[in-house]
Amino acid sequence: MAITALPRRLLGLLFMTVVAIIYLPIVVMAIFSFSSSRFQTLPFRVGTVEWYVRVFTDGQYSEGFLNSILLASAVAVTATAIGFACAYSLVNSRIPGKTLITLFVLAPLAVPLLLVGISLRLYFAELGIQPSLWLVWIGQVLYVLPLAVLNLRNRIAQIPKSHEEASWALGASQLRAIGDVVLPACRFALLATFILTFTFAFDEFVIAYFLTNFSITLPIKIWTTLVTGFDPTINALGTIVFLFSMTLGIAAQALFMRKDVR
Amino acid sequence: MRAKSVKLRGVSKLFGEFEAVKPLDLSVAPGEFLTLLGPSGCGKTTLLRMIAGLEHVSQGRISVGETDVTSLPPNRRDISIMFQDYALFPHKSVNDNIGYGLKMRGVVRPERDRASAEWLSRMGLTEYGRRMPGQLSGGQRQRVALARALILEPGVLLLDEPLGALDANLRRQLQGELKRMHRDIGLTFIAVTHDQEEALTMSDRIAVMRDGRIEQTGTPREIYDRPLTEFVARFIGRCNVVEGKAGIFDGQTLEVETASLGRIRAHAVNAPTMGSRVSVAVRPESIIPFAEGAELAVEDAVFAGGSVRLDLRTADGSRIEVESSRGEPVPVNGEKLRVHVPDLAATVLARTS
């Protein structure tokens, strides 16, 4: 379908509008993170990094930050490992109904997080398990697993089957062949999957909010800070988190696009 | 090295409802170079993969030497396989690729490296041990793949489309190289190809496959000169197939009365009923133009360098292809031409399929 000049210009405009709507609040936040006023009001008074210094020095975010880093790392490792196993099986099994199983694995992507959070909370309550970061770990693994499976499945499908078969024919067990042939061939995809799932887990709020009690993550800390009254350090923290996530996201994307195999 | 025989008895393969390989027998003598030849989808690769142990056998037994290997894993069959894409491990050096099989057998690194260096020098790749497969040319990759397979000193080497990944020039050169290597190391080679020229030039014996069956087994000469079926005749090189009526059979020669080429004395293995219809195959280069025989009209004459290709029409409109040597004059289109089919130049085909 040919797109003529006018609709193309309209599409361009639409695209720019969408980008602006997404990024404008972030830009505003970033600008105000340098404002010396205690309140987020105009006129904008330029010129301080005080809020950035406070984020790191006054310690109110350190517990949340530490928890989030640990949690996101654990979630990313788990999801990448399970995701690899799932993806490998999906690519290599000859079982009927593979498409259906694939859909089933990927379906959680479409389920609203609120539902995931609530149902997991109720489920664990029924089992008599108290909310904690451990439950958040499980919940977030469920949440990011489809991403891991999807990414790794695409990569594994690109590896010629003959490489593994050659390895078997030369005497390797199936597990050994995976370690010697498949894993090295998807090392960048694995790293990218780790980073991507880490980013998603690090930013995730809903599941964490429902499944933890006393140990809080950074997004929960930010939220509670916001509801109890505005604190200018939030702007600085938000900007930091945004840049952090964006960097990781771009890194993951770059890794995915990189060819593991010549 | 010690070459081993390979025997298949009643081997078949089912993929669901689909019979990729129908129950078949095949034996390969120790030291023989056998090629499985056929169009894509004929089951040749599946058959090779079953011999390698990469595919389960639905029925039948496979033995290598005196050992029944039907249920043994690939690495315990005394067989090595070279894949069409060579399947070199891209993230391992040439040395580590070649030594991989030995590593799996628990051979320590110094010994592996020594063996690998020895094979590299045999393959004329002495300086290439530290390179990665991506830094090698197609021909070099093939030699590394061969070294990786042969370092385990198998009794049988399987080659899946050994030259399929290479361009035409290199292919011809390596056909000779593979053949020489086979002669030098004296192993049993079983190769798969869809390229008839490759099969003719490399093999001691060819098994032509079609729809999961072996249609004919024989030396390249037998397959080319004495095809048993129209499929084999047409798959290996170009061929004229004409219909005729069976006449007298003298134990080797059958007289056939054809509408297009007149009376032919063709090679036959058994006597069909007198007067029954038979098909006869005759190669374009076996027909002698400008001689006493059936009169045909020249539809087209093309100078093809080493020969002249004549496209002829019979009285009933069917087409006969003739290849004459370059010494002969090139006839004009529409000209009438008499051709002769020498005794035993043609072969009576089995009336199957």
Count interface pairs A-B at CB distance under 8 A: 62
- Indicate the domain borders of chain A: 49-261
Residue A262: what pLDDT? Answer: 38
Same domain, B70 and B153: yes
pLDDT attached to residue B224: 93
Same domain? For B55 and B161 the reply is yes
Residues B193 and B292 in one domain: no
Of the candidates B139, B117, B138, the residue with the CA atom closest to the CA atom of residue B128: B117
Amino acid at B141: R
A262 in contact with chain B, both atoms CB, cutoff 8 A: yes
The full length of chain B comes to: 353
Secondary structure class of A24 (helix, strand, coil) = helix
Please indicate whether, in this complex, the C-beta atoms of A160 and B89 are within 8 angstroms of each other.
no
Q: Which of B217, B233, B249 is the last residue of a domain?
A: B233
Residues B63 and B108 in one domain: yes
State the pLDDT at residue A261. Answer: 42
Cβ–Cβ contact A174 with B under 8 A: no
Q: Categorize the per-residue pLDDT at B118 as very low, low, confident or very high, splitting at 50, 70 and 90.
A: very high
> Where is the domain boundary, B202, B233, B264?
B233
Residue of higher predicted confidence among B8 and B164: B8
Calculate mean pLDDT across residues B63-91. Answer: 92
Given a cut of 80, whether residue A194 has pLDDT beyond it is yes
Look at residue B283 in the predicted model and tell me its pLDDT: 93
B232: alpha, beta or left, given left = phi > 0 and alpha = psi -120 to 50? alpha
Any A CB within 8 A of B85 CB? yes
Please give the pLDDT value at position A167. Answer: 94
Write down the pLDDT at residue A258: 73
Per the prediction, chain B carries an average pLDDT of 90
CB neighbours of A159 closer than 8 A, spacing ≥ 6? Answer: A181, A182, A185, A186, A261
pLDDT in tens, A89-110: 989 887 777 888 888 888 878 8
Looking at the fold, whether B281 and B219 belong to one and the same domain comes out as: no
Higher-confidence residue of A256 and A77: namely: A77
Q: Is B1 a domain residue?
A: no
What pLDDT score was predicted for residue B353?
Answer: 44
Q: Does B135 have pLDDT greater than 50?
A: yes
- Cβ–Cβ gap A162/B85 under 8 Å: yes
**pLDDT value of residue A181:** 93
Establish whether this prediction's ipTM goes over 0.90. no
Phi–psi pair at A41, nearest 5 degrees: -130, 160
Percentage above 70 pLDDT, chain A: 93
Span B41-52, mean pLDDT?
Answer: 94
Question: What integer is the mean pLDDT of B70-98?
Answer: 93
Does B54 contact chain A (CB < 8 Å)?
yes
Greater pLDDT, B116 or A131: B116
Q: Please indicate whether, in this complex, the C-beta atoms of B54 and A168 are within 8 angstroms of each other.
A: yes
- pLDDT for res A130: 83
Whether pLDDT at B227 is above 70: yes
Q: What is the CATH number of the domain that holds B287?
A: 2.40.50.140
B225: CATH? 3.40.50.300
Looking at residue A162, its pLDDT comes to: 93
The vertex-B169 CA angle with B165 and B170, nearest 5°, equals 50
Q: Determine the distance in angstroms separating the CA of A94 from the nearest CA of chain B, rounded to an integer.
A: 11
How would CATH label the architecture of A49-261? Orthogonal Bundle (1.10)
- Per the structure, the complete domain to which residue B160 belongs is given by 6-233
A183 touches chain B (CB under 8 A): no
Q: Which residues of A touch B83 (CB under 8 A)?
A: 162, 165-166
On whether both B174 and B262 belong to a single domain, the answer is no
The answer to whether the Cβ–Cβ distance between A171 and B75 falls below 8 Å is yes
Q: Is the pLDDT of residue B166 over 80?
A: no
In a shared domain, residues B115 and B254: no
Residue B56 lies in a domain: yes
Asked if A170 and B148 come within 8 Å (Cβ–Cβ), the reply is yes
Is it the case that residue A191 has pLDDT exceeding 60?
yes
Amino acid residing at A139:
G
Query: What are the chain A neighbours of B91 within 8 Å (beta carbons)?
Result: 184-185, 261
Instruction: For A186, name the nearest residue in chain B, comparing CA atoms only.
Output: B91
Same domain, B150 and B88: yes
Quickly state the pLDDT bin for A170 (edges 50, 70, 90). very high
Cβ of A168 and B73 within 8 Å? yes
Q: Does B52 touch chain A (CB under 8 A)?
A: yes
Per-residue confidence band for B352, with pLDDT thresholds at 50, 70 and 90: low
Task: Tell me, yes or no, whether B218 and B254 share the same domain.
Answer: no
Closest-CA residue of B relative to A171 is B75
B133 CB near a chain A CB, below 8 Å? yes
What pLDDT band is residue B188 in, cutting at 50, 70 and 90?
Answer: very high
Tell me if chain B has a CB within 8 Å of the CB of A180.
yes
Copy the structure tokens of residue B313: 């029409």
CA angle B54, B58, B63 (to 5 degrees): 65
Q: Which of B175, B199, B233 is the last residue of a domain?
A: B233
Cβ-nearest to A160 among B74, B80, B87: B87
| Residues B290 and B198 grouped into a single domain | no
> Most B CBs within 10 Å: which of A170, A174, A262, as the mutation test of the B interface?
A170
pLDDT(A59) > 90: no
Which chain B residues contact residue A182 at CB under 8 A? none
Cβ of B101 within 8 Å of Cβ of A171? The answer is: yes
If one compares B33 and B318, the residue with the highest pLDDT of the two is B33
Mean pLDDT over A174-203 rounds to: 92
Interchain proximity B89–A262, CB inside 8 Å: no
Higher pLDDT, B81 or B251: B81
Q: Is B237 on the interface with A (CB under 8 A)?
A: no
**d(C-alpha B349, C-alpha B347), whole Å:** 6
Q: Are residues B246 and B97 in the same domain?
A: no
At residue A48, φ and ψ (nearest 5 deg) are -150, 145
> How close does chain A come to B108, measured CA to CA in Å?
15
Task: Report the number of distinct structural domains present in chain B.
Answer: 2
At B100, the pLDDT band (50, 70, 90 cuts) reads very high
> Is the pLDDT confidence value at A133 over 60?
yes
Q: Residue B91 pLDDT more than 50?
A: yes
**Which tokens in the block code for residue B291?**
């001689």
- Is B25 in the same domain as B110? yes
**Chain B residues in contact with A180 (beta carbon < 8 A):** 89, 100
For residue B71, give how far its alpha carbon lies from the nearest alpha carbon of chain A (Å): 14
Average of pLDDT values for A131-149? Answer: 90
More confident site: A6 or B283? B283
Which is higher by pLDDT, B37 or A220?
B37
Of the residues B50, B77, B81, B104, the best mutation for testing chain A's interface (the one with the most A CB atoms within 10 Å of its CB) is B104
pLDDT category of residue A30 using cuts at 50, 70 and 90: confident
B117 is a domain residue: yes
- CA-CA distance, B253 to B60, in Å (whole number)? 38
Neighbours of A6 (CB within 10 A): 8
Q: How far does the CA of residue B9 sit from the closest CA of chain A (Å)?
A: 23
